[in-house]
Structure 1
Amino acid sequence: MLTTKQKVYLRSLAQTEKPVFQIGQNALSDNLIKTVSDYLKKHELVKISVLKNCDADLKELGFDLAMMTKSECVQIIGRQLVLYKRAKEPKIILP
């Protein structure tokens, strides 16, 4: 579980990043979940853009994706999600 201070720090890191993945009409496919999970293992932090043709509720989508990838949903703002998963050897040092 992340503290508020840690979430603020992760948000500041994610602010300068561009979205790596896009979620579209198919919402959460097995391929997307596997790819996001693999990306999180290497980079710890990922920013995902949700396209307008995705009918799913954004909060529900974010928390479902976080649960399926065993990560934490740091932020849902607009149509973008930020997920964080601590690696065995962390690259991001949290405050």
Structure 2
Amino acid sequence: MEKLRGKQKHYLRGEAHHMHPLFAVGKNGLSAEWLTQLTGAIDKRELIKVNILQNSDVTTTEVKEAIEQNTAITVVQTIGRVLVLYLPASHEEDQRYSLKVAKL
């Protein structure tokens, strides 16, 4: 997947603004199982927020790097302990944001 351009990121940030985090990173940290679950969930939704809990042993930067290095997911934005993640859906019926992003 090519890198997102400014306009595309701006659109995705706007769309994610009113969303609540669907996933959390807690004291168990980042496991391969957690990344698999995250990838499965984002494939249906394309755009989700992840919250890093106060009791987590990992930093926001570590979570961002782990997600970007081990998956095809793009970290669109980090706000404090919340990350906005984007991955175009593999099934056409789930492509709510990627069709618009491709046109920007």
Same fold (TM over 0.5): yes
* Alignment size in residue pairs: 95
CA radius of gyration, larger in: 2
Percent of residue pairs bearing the same amino acid type: 36
Q: Does 1:16 align with 2:18?
A: yes
In the alignment, the residues of structure 2 paired with residue 3 and residue 39 of structure 1 have an alpha-carbon distance, to the nearest angstrom, of 24
Q: Which 4+ stretches in 1 moved above 4 angstroms?
A: none
Partner of 1:45: 47
Partner of 1:5: 7
In the alignment, the residues of structure 1 paired with residue 83 and residue 9 of structure 2 have an alpha-carbon distance, to the nearest angstrom, of 13
Superposition TM-score, scaled by structure 2 size? 0.83
> For 1:8, what is the secondary structure of its paired residue?
helix
Superposition TM-score, scaled by structure 1 size? 0.90
Cα offset, 1:61, TM superposition = 1.2
Contact 1:66 1:83 (C-alpha < 8 Å) held by counterparts: no
C-alpha deviations, 1:35-84, integer Å up to 9, x for none?
Answer: 11001111111100000111322122112113322111101111101110
Residue type of the alignment partner of 2:88: R
Residue type of the alignment partner of 2:9: K
Contact 1:75 1:81 (C-alpha < 8 Å) held by counterparts: yes
Residue type of the alignment partner of 1:72: T
Q: Give ranges in structure 1 of 5+ residues lacking alignment.
A: none
Q: 1:21-40, aligned counterparts within 5 Å?
A: 21-40=23-42
> For 2:83, what is the secondary structure of its paired residue?
strand
> For 2:85, what is the secondary structure of its paired residue?
strand
Cα offset, 1:6, TM superposition = 0.7
Contact 1:36 1:69 (C-alpha < 8 Å) held by counterparts: no
